Amino acid sequence: MSLAIVSPNRDIKPWLKILEKDSPEIPLEIYPDIVDPEDVEAAMVWQHPPGALVQFPNLRLICSMGAGVDHILNDKTIGEHIPITRIVDPRLTFSMTNYVVMGVLNFHRQINRYIKDKKERNWDMSNPEIPIKVGVLGVGELGGDVLDKLAGMGIEVCGYGNNPKGNFRHSYYYGDQLHDFLNECNVLVCLLPLTEKTAGFLNIDLFRKCKKGTYLINVARGKHLVEEDLLVALDEGCLSGALLDVFHKEPLPKDHPFWYHDKITITPHIASITNPAAAAPQIIENYRNLKQGKKLINQIDRKKGY
């Protein structure tokens, strides 16, 4: 029973170092140089080429090498009977929250404006703060922590999700209360899981329901955003700007209009980075659990998509 690593666009050396040190007994196969595909019963993957796992006829477990699993669920060649696990790491939450807080404060204190003023040698002390209330779409582990940290700084917050939450610790909206939620905030943070229902959620209809001048931060998945609609929303003034860390196509093509828009700030999918030292042991544990017939950890619900 071997474990295949299928991650062609990621440096797997740190992962190999941990796997070989902590579990030298596990036979490894490295994509694309697979020697014995019939022996592969578990695969750890990240942004694998669609269809790449078909070569493993005895595959019984797929482990995402990060918190997201949409790259796996989107591969329709993968049998629905195969369990999928994800990485759960407090450090992921730490870095994601810090990124969002950075984006919120940069908007609140208008850092982009002062960068522009410096280039123009413009000393402008007027209106140094934009009053803000932050709304977070998706209040799971990541979204909940963002709300906690911002509220702890004295910033007004509210959250939105699909279902009601009893005794939620912050102002909360759900279901058909989206319009009321959008009327409450002028900074909109997307931390939704990517599912069939949430793909394209950030679209022109939503933006036109926002408070005029709302600032968008998307750190979830690129497919949440209808990219051409963002440009329209910025031109119409529905949104005043956007901080984007995720995109439909990555790396972002050099001719993409987002590169040239002065109201859009871009980072290269670095809001939250998986730490192999924390992630690899979870994959090792699930490999051993599979081999011993034990319950898997961090298994996702395929119907929910997370």
Q: Which of 163, 168, 140 is nearest to 67 (CA)?
A: 140
87-129 pLDDT, tens per residue?
Answer: 998 889 999 999 999 999 999 999 999 999 999 999 999 999 9
- How would you label 93-128 residue by residue, b for 16+ Cβ within 10 Å and e otherwise? bebbbebbbebbebbbebeebeeeeeeeeeeeeeee
Asked if residues 65 and 46 have their Cβ atoms less than 8 Å apart, the reply is: yes
Answer yes or no: do 107 and 251 share one domain: yes
Cis ω on the peptide bond leading into residue 128 (within 30° of 0)? Answer: no
pLDDT bin (cut points 50, 70, 90) of residue 248 is very high
Answer yes or no: do 127 and 59 share one domain: no
137-194 pLDDT, tens per residue?
Answer: 999 989 999 999 999 999 999 999 999 998 999 999 999 999 999 999 999 999 999 8
Answer yes or no: do 13 and 119 share one domain: no
Domain range spanning residue 283? Answer: 2-89+274-292
Asked if residues 156 and 163 have their Cβ atoms less than 8 Å apart, the reply is: no
Question: Does residue 256 sit within a domain?
Answer: yes
55-77 pLDDT, tens per residue?
Answer: 999 999 999 999 889 899 999 99
Asked if residues 108 and 130 have their Cβ atoms less than 8 Å apart, the reply is: yes
CATH number assigned to the domain comprising residue 94:
3.40.50.720
207's tokens: 């933006």
Using DSSP's 3-state secondary structure scheme, residue 127 falls into coil
Question: Does residue 304 sit within a domain?
Answer: no
Asked if residues 174 and 124 have their Cβ atoms less than 8 Å apart, the reply is: no
Using DSSP's 3-state secondary structure scheme, residue 241 falls into strand
Answer yes or no: do 98 and 227 share one domain: yes
Question: Does residue 82 sit within a domain?
Answer: yes
Asked if residues 185 and 158 have their Cβ atoms less than 8 Å apart, the reply is: yes
Q: Which residue's structure tokens are 């759960």?
A: 88
Question: Does residue 297 sit within a domain?
Answer: no
How many domains is the chain built from?
Answer: 2
How far apart, in whole angstroms, are the C-alpha atoms of residue 226 and residue 214?
17
Catalytic residues: 221, 269
Answer yes or no: do 76 and 219 share one domain: no
Answer yes or no: do 68 and 130 share one domain: no
Answer yes or no: do 228 and 101 share one domain: yes
The mean pLDDT of the chain is 96
Question: Does residue 298 sit within a domain?
Answer: no
- Residue 241 neighbours by CB distance under 10 Å: 18
Answer yes or no: do 183 and 34 share one domain: no
127-150 pLDDT, tens per residue?
Answer: 999 999 999 999 998 999 999 999
**DSSP assignment string, 18-64:** HHHHH-TTS-EEETTB-S-GGGEEEEEESSPPTTGGGG-TT--EEEE
pTM exceeding the 0.95 threshold for the entire prediction: no
Q: In what order do the strands lie in the sheet with 172-174?
A: 172-174, 156-161, 133-137, 187-190, 214-218, 239-244, 264-266
209-240 pLDDT, tens per residue?
Answer: 999 999 999 999 999 999 999 999 999 999 99
Amino acid in the structure at residue 303: K
